[in-house]
Chains A and B, each alone.
Chain A
Amino acid sequence: MSPSIKIYVPRDAAALSVGANRVATALANEAKKRGQAVEIIRNGSRGMLWLEPLVEVETAKGRVAFGPVAPKDVASLFEANFLTGSAHPLNLGLTEEIPFFKNQERLTFARVGVIDPLSVDDYIAHGGFVGLKKAVTMTGAAIVQEVADSGLRGRGGAGFPTGIKWKTVLGAEADQKYIVCNADEGDSGTFADRMLMEGDPYTLIEGMAIAGVAVGATKGFIYLRSEYPHAYQTLLEAIRTARAARWLGPAIGGSSYAFDLEVRLGAGAYICGEETSLLESLEGKRAIVRAKPPLPALKGLFGKPTIVNNVMSLATIPWIMANGAKAYADFGMGRSRGTLPIQLAGNIKQGGLIEKAFGVRLREIIQTYGGGTHSGRSFRAVQVGGPLGAYFPESLLDTPMDYEAMAAKKGLLGHGGMVVFDDTVDLAQQARFAFEFCAKESCGKCTPCRIGATRGVETMDKVIAGDTSKLALIDDLCHLMTDASLCAMGGLTPVPVMSAMTHFPDDFNRAPKRMTPENLAAE
């Protein structure tokens, strides 16, 4: 029998959603039929999602990619001798030479799609646990300083400096502190947290353990949205294997530090991504937003000092500890240091995960990486930063992806999601949806958000029906919600609404169809 050849078929949920399991089964069956020894490794996704299922074969020259592969292609792949990386219509060449992939700066995602996500050995062979091993030899203050020097800002949306948050928790006196990972990833158009948890879960575990060592916390929780059943399974398994290998438990990595983790599932409420709402939910209550102060850093989970950080923030810590704060801060622009995992989604030809240094322009992402719309129609709008982010037109596409530059254009970066729309989109409908979403997902604590969003839906219905005199009311409502809401749910819902009105006024000024003479005649 010929020697065993390694084939990679992703287990990432996006790859599964277009048939990766069926492809893996077909490959195994065909190999068996032909007496060819293969080792099928279920890796994470490389993030080129339009090419999924992306099958890779390990060759002497490197990993060669084939995609998108359907089960019916499998026989012809073997026929063409694809295990040697030979020519075939689906052959994409060396994975790491595909321009979409090659031109990224992958730090946080360095291992995603490369390794077997659940193999501790593979993780270590690719530089895993180097950061933690270093951290356990340092003082808490020195670790916190390293994080501060890296310039890392929270990737959950608000961009708050991670080092400052950690310093507050480090300085708090308490018998118990907690590390909470915000894995609620509620923003539509985002999936970086999911891909990392499914593709390299030990990085998140390592990042949380380093946070624990830094501030003196022995217990962590990952609050995961229930819409991610695959990530849930991967995390449960990763925590089990990490514990067995003693990277979690009473003496992590053979050090004198203890740290352990639990995953908890959310229950379909967007507001649970807001950190205080998340803490209420973890405590088993209705997830009503808490007023701040007190800060969660001082009085967080069960009233104890708590770090709440996004998955991306925590998963970037191991890289920073292993390579140094300066190496990280060397990427980026202005006050946005390092890299941003950008998620390109919606009506886009080549969607996926693109990790780039801050400062890349929206246009480059949509055109060079994305290759235009999926429908082939012309581009009309991109919503950046989730449901609370702005809709930008073509004329704003030269805005660099940087916290301050986006804010200067009355938009936000959020969690780095970009949702592209073609010219069939109606921005008045999108503005209406922004209010509707807020009305559905509001925690209900404050009137401007709870009532304001409902009024917003009703008023937009009138605007859409042709009563443009109501636009002034929308404007007033937006000001009220911006100024008087307790949290960013109500406070930022006006961002998509106002950006849609500002940049796409035509969509808000349509005479109602029924009123035109032609339509009246037709009726």
Chain B
Amino acid sequence: MGNSLRHIRVIAANTFTEAIRQKVLYVLVVFCLLMLGGSSFISQMDFKGDDFKFMKDLAYAGISLVGLLVALLGAALLIPAEVEKRTIYTLLSKPVRKFEFIAGKYLGLVALLTLFVTLMAGIFFIALWGHENALTARELAAGGGRLTEVQTQLVGEYRASAYDPAMIQALALIWAKLCLVTVICVLFSTVASSTVFIVSCTLFVYLIGHLQMIAREYFLGGEVAQWWWKIFLAAVALLIPDFQTFNLSDEIIAGNTVRWVDTAPILAYAGVYALVTLTVSALVFEGREL
């Protein structure tokens, strides 16, 4: 048991190192450009106080997209490569179990995603801070160095909107969603060896996952007659995770109150789903001829 945990940690660290040495961090440059472009764009426009919502929307979309790229490519490139390049032969000639390999790969990718989300969140907060400072400075300049009552209130609103602690919850939701996409990608990587195929299947599940709620309602409502539709809806409702649930972050971005008690069950749902999928992946991989 102690050995297993150590093996998983060693393989995870190796996966993380591999990704870093493949220079994946360059992807962050894209995100920086996006944030820079976004901030300078809103500085030109007048969004009438919706500045921060715009920035948050942009950052959220950026983090989701970059994270999705890292998750998909990470799992769909690194796992099949071990099999294709046969490095797994050397690995499995050691007293290492196949599930340790799968868990190690997954946790390495989770570590990578954590780093990415943290760094992008950092860049995003710097952008927010910069913009908030610019707006406050503008008010100060307009008031000749002093703020009127109305202006003071306005600046306070800027601050509240820029430094909304609920954004942490929104980031946690993205992170959980990305970890879930990764585990699905890992599952496909244990059965297939083609990166394109794995990425396509994962994206398919990801998209269907956004419609999952509808499928569930139709299935439970019993409104469809054809049996094949019923089976399909049941499969979607039972097997595919509900990605729509992570869109609670939209509420946070819109500035509505969302508390941790609302977010926590979603995070727990993602954790349980990931654990189950990882177990299934390990079992599938156990039976696979290499």
Please say whether chains A and B are actual partners in one complex: no
Q: Which residues of B contact A (CB under 8 A)?
A: none
